[in-house]
Amino acid sequence: MPKISEEQKAARREHVLAGARRCFGRYGYEGATVIRLEQEIGLSRGAIFNWFPTKEDLFLELAARDNDRIVSIWIEQGLEPALRAVLDEDPEWLGVYLGVAHRLRTDPEFRKRWDARAPKGQEGQIMARMRHEQAAGVLRSDLDPEQIGGFLGVVFDGVALHRAAGYEPPLEVVLDLVRDALDPSRARDQSP
Amino acid sequence: MPKISEEQKAARREHVLAGARRCFGRYGYEGATVIRLEQEIGLSRGAIFNWFPTKEDLFLELAARDNDRIVSIWIEQGLEPALRAVLDEDPEWLGVYLGVAHRLRTDPEFRKRWDARAPKGQEGQIMARMRHEQAAGVLRSDLDPEQIGGFLGVVFDGVALHRAAGYEPPLEVVLDLVRDALDPSRARDQSP
- Asked whether B70 and B123 are in contact (CB, 8 A), the reply is no
| pLDDT at A184 exceeding the cut of 70 | yes
| pLDDT at A151 exceeding the cut of 90 | yes
- Partner residue opposite B101 with nearest CB, options A98, A148, A157: A98
Taking only the tens place, the pLDDT of each residue in B91-144 is: 999 988 888 888 899 999 999 999 888 878 898 999 999 999 999 999 999 999
Alpha carbon separation from B167 to A102, A109, A111, A173 (Å, rounded): 11, 15, 10, 26
Q: Residue B192: which pLDDT band, with cuts at 50, 70 and 90?
A: very low
CA distance A49 to chain B (A): 28
- Asked whether B141 and B134 are in contact (CB, 8 A), the reply is yes
Taking only the tens place, the pLDDT of each residue in B68-86 is: 999 999 999 999 999 999 9
What is the reported pLDDT for B119? 79
Taking only the tens place, the pLDDT of each residue in A56-96 is: 999 999 999 999 999 999 999 999 999 999 998 889 999 88
CA distance B188 to chain A (A): 10
Residue B93 one-letter amino acid: W
| pLDDT at A6 exceeding the cut of 60 | yes
Percent of chain A with pLDDT over 90: 73
Q: Residue B2: which pLDDT band, with cuts at 50, 70 and 90?
A: low
Q: Rounded to an integer, what distance in angstroms lies between the CA atom of residue B175 and that of residue B192? A: 32
Among B118, B66, B103, B71, CA closest to A164: B103
Do A174 and B151 make contact, defined as CB atoms within 8 angstroms? yes
CA distance B159 to chain A (A): 6
What is the reported pLDDT for B191? 45
Do B153 and A143 make contact, defined as CB atoms within 8 angstroms? no
Mean pLDDT of all residues belonging to chain A:
91
Looking at the complex, does the CB of residue A184 fall below 8 Å from at least one CB of chain B?
A: no
Mean pLDDT of all residues belonging to chain B:
91
- A-contacting residues in B 68-107 (Cβ below 8 Å): 91-92, 95, 98-102, 104-106
Of residues A158 and A100, more confidently modeled: A158
Query: What is the per-residue DSSP string for B64-128?
Result: HHHHHHHHHHHHHH-HHHHHHHHHHS-HHHHHHHHHTHHHHHH-HHHHHHHHTTSPTTHHHHHHH
| pLDDT at B1 exceeding the cut of 80 | no
CA distance B107 to chain A (A): 10
Do A166 and B92 make contact, defined as CB atoms within 8 angstroms? no
Q: Rounded to an integer, what distance in angstroms lies between the CA atom of residue A97 and that of residue B102? A: 11
For residue B4, report the phi and psi dihedrals to the nearest 5 degrees. -120, 150
What is the reported pLDDT for A38? 96
Q: Rounded to an integer, what distance in angstroms lies between the CA atom of residue A72 and that of residue A66? A: 10
* Chain length of chain A: 192
Looking at the complex, does the CB of residue B143 fall below 8 Å from at least one CB of chain A?
A: yes
Q: Rounded to an integer, what distance in angstroms lies between the CA atom of residue A122 and that of residue A126? A: 6
Q: Rounded to an integer, what distance in angstroms lies between the CA atom of residue A39 and that of residue A35? A: 6
- Asked whether A166 and A91 are in contact (CB, 8 A), the reply is yes
3-state class (DSSP) for residue B192: coil
Q: Rounded to an integer, what distance in angstroms lies between the CA atom of residue A132 and that of residue A109? A: 35
Q: Rounded to an integer, what distance in angstroms lies between the CA atom of residue A169 and that of residue A166? A: 9
Q: Rounded to an integer, what distance in angstroms lies between the CA atom of residue B131 and that of residue B113? A: 28
| pLDDT at B174 exceeding the cut of 50 | yes
